[in-house]
Amino acid sequence: MNKYGVRLYKSGKFYNAFGDEGMILHELLGYKYIEYKNSVGFPESAINKVKGKLDSVNISYSIYEKDNLLEEHKGIDKNYKIVLSKALKNYDIEKRLTRLKSKINNLSTEELERVIDSLEDGSI
């Protein structure tokens, strides 16, 4: 397996990808990135969907069960880097929006109206 590829690890009825590789699956397929675990997981029934998506963007991947390599696909390193860059940028925006939603939920109706008015009239 080359340096720029997604490694999928089978664990029971699920597959997991860790770190940047999980971030790529989050970006491409919308799977929830679990920050404290630094990973993405999905059910084994979705493996063909995941492989199909990685194939369509031509990203290398390998599939493991325990220490055994089950399958490998060679993609283009540049594609991995492009998707990862986009994924990291979008994930940062997601986290910022989550913080903003939390702040908005704590605003009074009057404060919220002022924020909305400012956004609508372009003053902020």
* Separation of first and last alpha carbons in the chain: 49
pLDDT for residue 1:
53
Strand 68-73, strand 60-65: pairing: antiparallel
Note down pLDDT in tens along the chain; length 124 residues. 568 999 999 999 999 999 999 999 999 999 999 999 999 999 999 999 999 999 999 999 999 998 899 999 999 999 999 999 999 999 999 999 999 999 999 999 999 999 899 999 987 7
Say what the pTM is.
0.83
Strand 68-73, strand 14-18: pairing: unpaired
Please give the class, per CATH, of domain 5-89: alpha beta
